[in-house]
Structure 1
Amino acid sequence: MSEDNAAADPAVPFSLAIDAMGGDNAPEIVLGGLERAADRHPGCRFLLVGDEEVLRVALMRFPKAAKICTVRHAPGLVSMEMKPTAALRLRDSSLRVAIDAVARGEAGGVVSAGNSGAMLALAKIVLKTLPGISRPALAAVNPSARGDVVMLDLGANISCDTRNLVEFAVMGEAFAKAVLGLPAPRIGLLNVGVEELKGDERLRLAADALRDSPLAAQFHGFVEGHDITAGTTDVVVTDGFTGNVALKTGEGALKLASLLLRRVFRTNLLTRLGYLLVRPGLERMREWIDPRRYNGAVLVGLNGIVVKSHGGADAEGFAAAIDVAMDAVTHGINEKIRARLGQIATLTLSSDETQGAAVPADV
């Protein structure tokens, strides 16, 4: 559906703006994801941003997506290799036009599988942070033995001070409430040990601040790397460097486990027969830890919902990213963050008080 056709009902807002040209296999994967979203989110409308001529032809193969989308022409393209500074100057790119739509209040959020650095830079400059938030953070859901767990920051901020970590805890709680539906998520600070004297000064100060805040009843304390997959807490808070390393390590461990299982079951005739016996259970496990289910990281802390899909995601993975964005919009994640920020007096802690936070302490 073109913008001309949509103009008959200008009062209808767009649930999300979709960057149709971002990702390794755009726009086909994006449209395939929207085809699935049409069934999952009936009644919603999406602003599809990209090369209009390309999209009109492609939409002929995705009739369900065509019915729920309004196409907005954006001839520019932010390549996966483009530097953020160059992307900022490209005002007619599909990514920029989609984010601009959120800034103008035309759409509740944006989803893109495009250039991560460019998306983060554009989102922070165009949308800006919520009042009381010094830095946004990347948050995503991961599997654990007790259910899903929210983890942040996953790479938006390489180094963080005490104030950032407390803010991440606030945003992580709001994310878990909105996306996981948890009434009172448990929160943990990722550390090298669970003892109170472990870690550096910024971690200890952040823990003290959370214990003295309205989040005290939900604050578990320090958690270690193995607690992420154990599901010890519902939210795991850390800096972007550590979070990104932990995320990639976990992804690699899952791939290794899958590879080793395939090798074991292909060893001989007996192991192949054994595979037939346990196949139903393995299929269930594969569904449970399928990375497509967990696709979609939210850049929380901005004046608008911004969701980053993996660049190599398939249609099902992109649909999952849309699901995450819709949950964040529908359940008012930003309203929850604002409400909690109004209760947390500890956020007055200045960055100057924690400028030595990067120096390791008693570990």
Structure 2
Amino acid sequence: MSQLTVALDMMGGDFGPSITVPAAAQALSLLPDLNLLMFGLEAELSPWLTRLQLDQHPRVQTYFCTQQVGNDHKAAYALRHLTDSSMRNALDALASGRASACVSAGNTGALMAMAMKVLNTVPGVDRPALITRLPQGDGGYALLLDVGANISCSAEQLVQFALMGEQAAQHILGIASPRVALLNVGAEANKGNEAVRVAGTRLSQTANLNYSGYIEGNELFIGRADVIVCDGFVGNVALKTSEGVARLLLGQKLKRGLLSKMLTFWLKKRLSHLNPDQYNGASLIGLRASVVKSHGSAGSPAFFNAILQAISEIEHDLPASIAHRFDTAPQDSHAR
């Protein structure tokens, strides 16, 4: 691995430095070429850095800010007034080239607004989308987007998401010709709202795209598609419902007794690949640089996985791949 630098918003999420600092310490201990730029409030961040001996770490640069983006802050307010927040400073470090990726567990709306302001989207992309992995029954993964960045989407934006998802599957999952599907309420051509139907028609006419039609909610985990496209409202509900079911199954306790304990152990081991923490880190793709959004409620292992996701995007240079795809999109599709 070549030397790389990731900017971290240390104040984001429900727990701030108590989660982000241990995750950063784990990443530094396992990845000798990793450099971290940490942004946060001095009073809250410094004690954790000292406790985990990162205050003098040679591969850590710490920058203290005066503001923090809260979960209740409106995106427009954060964009205008929280310019010295840990989130904004981490994104500024990415925009200036001091970092190659940024990770934040903060307010999704604020992160989206700030990232678009500071980084802008690649030519041909109207708005970035949040993309995440879904475990599949065959042991592989599928990519789902959008999972919350854009609550309502036009057909044109759904087509753009499909092209971005295709590139992510090729470069992150290593699938040469990923199967792209639209999440819908039925498989028939006349099902769904107008945006989905129009997007389906356009995708079926897009050259060099392996479009496989509609996919329903009960097919999200059976390996029918490699990229699943929807608007952010549908995607967020689908993702959080799936996470809730996974946590329900993983948290099940059977009756007392040796046999029951053995069955519980077997069940949790068998279903361990469903643990949502393993898939924490939804990438805000379509921007000119890599931004990874961690769950606000994520623990340290999950935030660590978000850092790994950022590193993977740096190594595969996903923004450049998406930009190249849209360079050829006008003659392939109606994406622009």
**One-letter identity of the residue aligned with 2:268:** E
Q: Which structure 1 residue ranges, 4+ long, deviate > 3 Å from structure 2?
A: 52-57, 63-67, 255-259, 346-350
Tell me the residue number matched to 1:195: 188
Tell me the residue number matched to 1:48: 38
**Structure 1: runs of 5+ lacking an equivalent:** 1-11, 351-363
- Using the aligned pairs only, state the percent identity: 38
How much does 1:60 deviate? Answer: 2.3
Tell me the residue number matched to 1:97: 89
Instruction: Answer yes or no: is 1:308 the counterpart of 2:299.
Output: no
C-alpha distance after superposition, 1:123-180 (max 9, x if no partner): 1222111110011111111222122211001111111111111110111112223332
Alignment of 1:1-363 (within 5 A): 15-52=5-42, 54-63=44-53, 66-88=57-79, 89-146=81-138, 147-216=140-209, 218-258=210-250, 261-262=252-253, 265-266=254-255, 269=256, 272-345=257-330, 347-348=333-334
Superposition TM-score, scaled by structure 2 size: 0.91
* SS of structure 1 residue aligned to 2:34: coil
In structure 2, distance between residues paired with 1:136 and 1:78: 20
**One-letter identity of the residue aligned with 2:224:** T
In structure 1, distance between residues paired with 2:295 and 2:172: 18
Aligned length: 331
In structure 2, distance between residues paired with 1:298 and 1:106: 19
Q: Residue 159 of structure 2 contacts residue 335 of structure 2 at CA under 8 Å; is this kept in 1? A: no
In structure 2, distance between residues paired with 1:287 and 1:46: 30
In structure 2, distance between residues paired with 1:178 and 1:74: 35
* SS of structure 2 residue aligned to 1:45: strand
**Structure 2: runs of 5+ lacking an equivalent:** none
**One-letter identity of the residue aligned with 2:280:** N
Q: Residue 250 of structure 2 contacts residue 275 of structure 2 at CA under 8 Å; is this kept in 1? A: no
Q: Residue 160 of structure 2 contacts residue 335 of structure 2 at CA under 8 Å; is this kept in 1? A: no
How much does 1:198 deviate? Answer: 2.4
How much does 1:53 deviate? Answer: 5.5
User: How large is the RMSD of aligned CA atoms in angstroms?
Assistant: 2.1
- My pick for the range that moved more, 159-168 or 82-91, is 82-91
**One-letter identity of the residue aligned with 1:127:** L
How much does 1:229 deviate? Answer: 1.5
Q: Residue 193 of structure 1 contacts residue 223 of structure 1 at CA under 8 Å; is this kept in 2? A: yes
How much does 1:338 deviate? Answer: 1.3
In structure 2, distance between residues paired with 1:348 and 1:211: 11
How much does 1:290 deviate? Answer: 1.3
Q: Residue 131 of structure 2 contacts residue 143 of structure 2 at CA under 8 Å; is this kept in 1? A: yes
Superposition TM-score, scaled by structure 1 size: 0.85
Q: Residue 14 of structure 1 contacts residue 106 of structure 1 at CA under 8 Å; is this kept in 2? A: no
**One-letter identity of the residue aligned with 1:178:** H
Q: Residue 181 of structure 2 contacts residue 213 of structure 2 at CA under 8 Å; is this kept in 1? A: yes
In structure 2, distance between residues paired with 1:132 and 1:219: 20
C-alpha distance after superposition, 1:312-341 (max 9, x if no partner): 111101000001111111101111111211
In structure 1, distance between residues paired with 2:335 and 2:72: 38
C-alpha distance after superposition, 1:177-214 (max 9, x if no partner): 33323232221111112223322333233223222223
In structure 2, distance between residues paired with 1:64 and 1:184: 43
* SS of structure 2 residue aligned to 1:292: helix
How much does 1:54 deviate? Answer: 4.3
Q: Residue 38 of structure 1 contacts residue 64 of structure 1 at CA under 8 Å; is this kept in 2? A: no
* SS of structure 2 residue aligned to 1:307: strand
* SS of structure 2 residue aligned to 1:180: coil
Q: Residue 19 of structure 1 contacts residue 94 of structure 1 at CA under 8 Å; is this kept in 2? A: yes
How much does 1:283 deviate? Answer: 3.2
* SS of structure 2 residue aligned to 1:341: helix
How much does 1:78 deviate? Answer: 1.3
In structure 2, distance between residues paired with 1:294 and 1:284: 17
Tell me the residue number matched to 1:359: none
Change (3 A) 1:236 1:13: same
In structure 2, distance between residues paired with 1:18 and 1:204: 40
Change (3 A) 1:344 1:33: same
In structure 2, distance between residues paired with 1:105 and 1:29: 26
Change (3 A) 1:120 1:33: same
Change (3 A) 1:341 1:315: same
In structure 2, distance between residues paired with 1:17 and 1:277: 44
Q: Residue 52 of structure 1 contacts residue 71 of structure 1 at CA under 8 Å; is this kept in 2? A: no
How much does 1:258 deviate? Answer: 4.1
